[in-house]
Amino acid sequence: MQLDYAFRDPQLATLALTHRSAGRPNNERLEFLGDALLNMVVAELLFELHPRADEGELSRLRAQLVNGQALADVARELEIGGGLRLGPGELKSGGFRRDSILADAFEALLAAVYLDGGFDACRGVVRGLFAPRAAALPRPEKDPKTRLQELLQARGQPLPRYELSATRGEEHARVFAVTCVLDAPLQISLEGSGSSRRAAEQDAAQKALATLAGQDAA
């Protein structure tokens, strides 16, 4: 195993690599803890790398880094499969190559690092593995409101105004309507809708962008 960490208690590492098919104790509880630690540190990393990205953009980026296939790939790089303790059935079926088993073992190992060396040790391991991967991801696309604002600024035109025009539906299924107003010389008003005021503003901004693009192409 190529994990860049030396365990003071090797039994923690052994437990992290013990699949439930091998009996008890196994790595299921460690996998639960490791999943939370991994998501937290990767979220912190993306928060630093993309200071202007919103919650949705950050969530999409994290999903590209933290998923079964991606974690299994990391586990293979670390050669975790060779150290797995599996039951006879999983050994015969090649469980040491299975994505789900490798990904779970990787998360369990992160929890073992945390229990052995503390949060800073775990954080260092995660950042060492995921910082290059995070930096290599395509930058998130700017949201429609940001793109509309930047477009109007580049043209020297007034910034858009967003006005709540209606709220419809029951409280548990509320729909907001927001009008995006572009003042002179454009004199455009377009309504967007969404399950939140923010979503409605983004929808209206997207429609404004489409309208301006159509004008430019005419």
The reply to whether 35 belongs to the active site is: yes
Confidence of residue 218 (pLDDT cuts 50, 70, 90): low
Provide CATH 3.30.160.20 ranges for the chain.
144-217
Catalytic residue among 35, 90, 116, 143: 35
Q: What share of the chain in percent tops pLDDT 90? A: 74
Tell me, what's the pLDDT at 140? 67
Q: What is the 3-state secondary structure (H, E, C) of the chain?
A: CCCCCCCCCHHHHHHHCECHHHCCCCCHHHHHHHHHHHHHHHHHHHHHHCCCCCHHHHHHHHHHHCCHHHHHHHHHHCCCHHHCECCHHHHHCCHHHCHHHHHHHHHHHHHHHHHHHCHHHHHHHHHHHHHHHHHHCCCCCCCHHHHHHHHHHHHCCCCCEEEEEEEECCHHHCEEEEEEEECCCCCEEEEEEECCHHHHHHHHHHHHHHHHHHHHHC
Summarised one tens digit per residue, pLDDT across range 76-114 is 999 999 999 999 988 888 888 899 999 999 999 999 999
Summarised one tens digit per residue, pLDDT across range 179-215 is 999 988 888 999 999 999 999 999 999 999 999 988 8
Q: What share of the chain in percent tops pLDDT 70? A: 99
Tell me, what's the pLDDT at 194? 94
Pick the CATH number of 10-136 from 3.40.718.10, 2.60.40.420, 1.10.1520.10, 3.40.50.1820: 1.10.1520.10
Confidence of residue 133 (pLDDT cuts 50, 70, 90): very high
Provide CATH 1.10.1520.10 ranges for the chain.
10-136
CATH class assigned to 144-217: alpha beta
Catalytic residue among 31, 104, 107, 201: 107
| Highest-pLDDT range among 123-132, 150-159, 185-194 | 123-132
The reply to whether 141 belongs to the active site is: no
